[in-house]
Structure 1
Amino acid sequence: MNNKATWTYNIKGIRTPGVSQMLVHENLVFIAVHYAKAGFYEGKLLCLSLNTGELQWEFVTDHVINSKVSVSGDQVYLAAFDGHVYGLNLADGQLRWKFHTGKNMFSSPAVVGDKLICCETHTGNFTYCLDRHSGQKIWELKTGVAVASSPLVYKDLIFHGSNSPLFFAIDLNTGIEKWRYEADGYFAGSPNLLGDQVITGCLNGSVYVFEPFTGQIVTQFQTGGAIYRKPIIENKHIFIGNEAGVFSSLTTSGQSISVDWTYQVPEIISTNACIANGQVLFGSADGHVYCLDKEDGALIDKKNMKSIVRDIMLTDEFFLIGADKGQLSAFERES
């Protein structure tokens, strides 16, 4: 990892700002910041130039923004703790529409064709399907549980966990629940695809692999610590970190999962993994980004960001790091 940032954007004039996950779209990078203001909370969505870090526009909400945005066509989609889902102009951040759920939103919205899928978080009850162009509700499903997990859509099915022991599969077109699985821990993290199967982590420390149409468990594996992060998949390899500070490289084979290697850090793993050039990178609450050899887990390098690392992302040219204290830095990728 290069030591000198190509550019760094620091939030100024705000005390102890926190940042959300980021999204890169073409030559733009989106990241939200949340902060206390006069005893209350506000959030800002920032749109920055990927090449220079220059602010292009910002959008302010009445409460915390803690999710990643989605982009489709000429619109940006955002969910916030003020109980609204927003549709914004990509070009200038102007509001096109907003949909009021009445409950806090933490889960990141997902775009599927002309549909936008979003879930209520705190004391929430509903998963929603909206028309992404207008924000009009197409259907809602009362799940009865709060959802922090961001939805995954695969073959007309929506998959998400919840702030409860329940994991759901929902029909994309009708909003009818297809199946649910109940574990002995919360499914707060977001799912991913493992080939044609669905994989997710659980706060009981296990990684679960589901057959998507029946909900039958294909296999599961215990990592030894609560999992909030999305499993990252490369071929048959799974890369996942947990709250015990253990980062694992796992391999799937049929109905079994085996350990390739593990790496221990002092505090929780606070980001998803990124993989490039035979290396795997992740951030930790100890303020460091770790770079490991993908094959054997040996430490190659680590970078001190001096605050909790909230997200990391690789583009063709940059390695982006978002950290608390309102900091977003872009480092030129090494060839």
Structure 2
Amino acid sequence: MNFKRLYLSIIELADRLGSLLFASCCLVTSYGHSALCALSAYCVPLTLVRTRRAMCLTAYCLLLATYCVQSSSGVLAQEPFQAPALVWKVKLKGPILSPPAVHEGMLYIPMSNQKLYRMDVRNGRYEDISKVNGVASLTPQVYAGRMFFMLDGQPNKDRRMLAAFDLKKKKTLWQKPLLNTWSTPLLHETTLYTGAEDGYVYAIDIETGDTRWRFQTKRRIRSSPVISDSLLFIGSDDNHLYALHVETGRLVWSFETGGSILAAPAVADDAVYTVSFDQNLYCLDQHTGKLRWTFKANGSLYAAPVVSSYRIFLGSNDRNLYCLDARTGRLFWRYETGGIIRATPVLHEDVVYMVSSDRHVYAADIVTGRVLWQYETEGSITVSPVIVDHTLLVGSEDRHIYAFRKSGM
């Protein structure tokens, strides 16, 4: 049994059951001493303390021991980490500008040479979809045989385009002038949502390219949107995070930070997390925008955070990957790489995978932060990795895409 994954599940179970019922489930066991030793060995912190749901530490230890300690030997049963193996790498004809889109086991990769590539995750074989009139520098969106992407770098740079492309017929369906080089469009149902350098948030019909609604902020938008329930969250260079009604664009609330917001926020449970150029991570109530807590890094924050199992992970220009308690902002651990971290990490089971400008991709234990594996490429890595069909894919500035795979991944 996987100890760390079970630990995170127990934390959530304890929160939901409450102390009395939780304790009643535990009193029948008798492994308290072994469990305490296990907790000490792994230095596992309790991630939740609430006065109205005070959790009995003894009961917690007993239940943990019931599952983690082998009855025959009293030794913790752990699954050893299996290092991913390089299964293929492919050199492309230019640097990779943004994370690829993923659709039905295929990667759709925007390139700097004015081409779009479609790549098979299984073997790295790829084809040119089409030459486009400009550079597709942002992650495209793929839906129902169509791809939606931004084009810039055209002869008239002030007339950048949002385009819809038919993948089967390999032809452009429509183009819409849109001044946007930074904000990755988000597809939700039949609408594309994106920010633009004119300071507007746009909702665009995917069938026609017509604007359904728009909302104006005070400065350009470089953040990408995210949607949770009926709310769209997006940041602006005017230092604000905005919550808009997804159907109408009506402002629900806004929150002012101390700097520009460049990255997409993250949403988990009833909270929204956003990073700011003021070096802070902010945790806000999703429905009211009320501040819950802040965490200050030692460098600028460009990458979107990621949340899982009450833990939040974020990279910084101070070279560190931070792991925090998503409920309180308390630091669990940090790991310093040899370069800045501008890419969002990805999680798989109890491992966080991160990349750095020091050319490395790392795998770290999500509970302890201990690095379990690393691999050095031949170029800086600033584009977020992705996991598709049990394959970890990493794009490097050495113009290669690396594919790693392990059993169980």
TM score, norm. by length of structure 2: 0.73
Tell me the residue number matched to 2:371: 299
Say if 2:128 is the partner of 1:52: no
The residue type equivalent to 2:394 in the other structure is I
- Greater Cα shift, 77-86 or 192-201: 77-86
Matched, 1:81 2:152: yes
In structure 2, distance between residues paired with 1:315 and 1:80: 26
Q: Which residue is equivalent to 1:2?
A: 84
Aligned residues: 319
2:349 aligned with 1:273? no
CA deviation profile, 1:173-229 (whole Å, cap 9, x unmatched): 222223222211111011111212211111212111122232211222112221111
> 1:224 matched to which residue of 2?
298
- Residues 61-140 of structure 1 aligned to structure 2 (within 5 Å): 61-82=132-153, 83-91=160-168, 93-101=170-178, 103-121=179-197, 124-140=198-214
Once the 2 structures are TM-superposed, how far is the Cα of residue 311 of structure 1 from its aligned partner? 2.3
Q: Is the 8 A contact 1:237 1:249 kept in 2?
A: yes
> Structure 1 residues 174 and 250, CA, compared in 2 at 3 Å: closer, same or farther?
same
Percent of paired sites with the same residue: 22
Contact 2:378 2:398 in 1 (8 A): no
Does 2:105 align with 1:34?
no
**Larger relative strand fraction:** 1
Contact 2:96–2:109 (CA<8 Å) still a contact in 1?
A: no
d(CA) in 2 for partners of 1:277 and 1:195?
19
Residue by residue, what CA displacement relative to the aligned partner does 1:25-56 show, whole Å, maximum 9, x if unpaired? 11211221225xxxxxxx33221112222223
**1:282 paired to 2:358:** no
Indicate whether 1:311 and 2:388 are aligned: no
2:235 matches 1:161: yes
Would the aligned equivalents of 2:115 and 2:128 in 1 still touch at CA under 8 Å? no
Cα drift, residue 3 of structure 1: 4.4
2:399 pairs with 1:326: yes
Mapped contact 1:29–1:47 kept (Cα < 8 A): yes
- For residue 93 of structure 1, report the CA deviation from its aligned partner: 4.2
Query: CA–CA distance in 2 between the matches of 1:140 and 1:313?
Result: 31
List alignment gaps of at least 5 residues for structure 1. 36-42
CA RMSD of aligned residues (A): 1.9
Tell me the TM-score normalised to structure 1 length. 0.89
Alignment of 1:124-203 (within 5 A): 124-203=198-277
Structure 2: give runs of 5+ residues left out of the alignment.
Answer: 1-82, 154-159
Residue number in structure 2 paired with 1:19: 97
Larger Rg: 2
SS in 2 for 1:290: strand
Higher helix share: 2
Higher relative contact order (CA 8 A, sep 6+): 1
Aligned equivalents of 2:170 and 2:403: distance in 1?
A: 22
**1:80 shift after superposition:** 2.9
1:260 to 318, 323, 332: 332
Q: Is the 8 A contact 1:20 1:65 kept in 2?
A: no
